[in-house]
Chains A and B, each alone.
Chain A
Amino acid sequence: MISAVIIVLREVLEGVLMICMLMASASAMGHRLRWLPAALVLGFFGAFSYAVFLEQISMAFDGLGQEIISASLLLAVAVLLIVHNFLATRHANLPEASAPALAVLGVCVAASAMSMSREGAEIYLYVYAFGVQAGEMASVLSGAAIGAGIGLSLGTFMYYGLRALPWRTCLWVSAGIATVTGAGLVMQATYYLGQADILPGQAALWDSSSLVAESSLTGELLQAALGYEATPTAVQLSLYLASILAALGAMALARVSVKTREYRK
């Protein structure tokens, strides 16, 4: 049961924390949460399709389909989070010049649905393989329910915590969370790309397994929140840092564009 808790909690946290951050951020930008049902429906549908067609997906791209699709979804969400940072910074600096609602809501719906599709499919497959097929239904389902419940509770606290902040602070904090989450997603994507031999295999720069093992609860949670990797390679680390720089760059660009606009006035 404990392993079910940890695995499901990690998957749920990865998705829920990001979706709750987007909810708080979109609210701070003055948008209601009407996009959420659409994102949830698309996410459920995506997760179900991903799980059902997993075999076909795995066979695609010469047997590397699953790795490539997973990496693509992760990278797409990371890019959307960078776009989110641009929009949030722009709104925080100049609300009247804010992006059209369609852009903000589009980012929220797409990022949430893609994240849910991947995480949902992984949870579904885990529960199916270890619960239904291995005949451990009660244990796996209880563990999954507990993991999902804890993840959703933490998401609720995060959403209301962010909403309790002044709207501008909320946007800055959300952008900070999006930066770290996006980098974590890039780190995970590099793992899949490495498995698919798209990224070169390299020696690890260090091994922090003795400090925090990836398979430990802390390791799993750190991986979910920050993309923790105990043995990162140079390429992985570079891409992780590049992702953080891209997110910060998007925020800087938004500030510059606002300043230029004000200057023209």
Chain B
Amino acid sequence: MEYNNSINKAMEQIKTEHVVPKPKWEFALENVFKWILFVVSGIIGALFLLFLYNSLADADWDIRPRAGLGILKLIFLILPPIWVILLTISVALAYLLFRSTRYGYRYSGQSAFFIVLGTVVVVGIISFFAKADKFVGNRMPGMIPGYGQAMLMREEMWLHPESGLLGGVVTSLDKNARTLTVRDFQGGEWVVVPGKDFKAPRLILETIVGKQVKIIGEKTGEFQFQANEIRPWNERFERPMGPGGPMPMRPMMRGRGLPIGK
């Protein structure tokens, strides 16, 4: 042996410093911990994705011309950049954690990216069918920065009664007079009557008082509004759940007026 020097010195160091092999469980724990963090960041990414999907699906694309919004402006209103940045951060974190697992380095950057993205999408789809969108719709908003500001901007879209867009909370329902009272986002109290072609999801109408709604119609006078359509504010999250998932919003009640006195 030409260089026994290193061996002897290493053996001496091992003995004098009482070096012992770290236990197997420490390495196993570290590896498991990385996988758990990867899964957690993947789940966070998936919930974000679901949240963004819900926000897009809930967007009132059809009223865009009436609200005088361009497509980009509407997308900006629906998906504030901070949300997209947060989604990107959670995916990037999942990517880095995946690469830091024991054999994560064996995957090319591209493969690892698609594995992580695929995981996030699959977990997102599973979460969707596992009714996690209820959580996403009800709990996540409070945890997401910029949500309040985004909601204010969205409310702004529905503060245009002159253009036929009115949003607010239904404060009362008068079955005899067949009217509802809606408090808009600036505190104005509106009396809303159903128009000739009025339509609204039946399930929403049955529990409408106290609900935040979006009304499409026509301003007929000072704080007077004729509704052609009433939509729940968060369409996807306000559906009562049936045994097989969210109950359908349809059939619409069309041309029959509000279910007042019926």
A and B form one complex: no
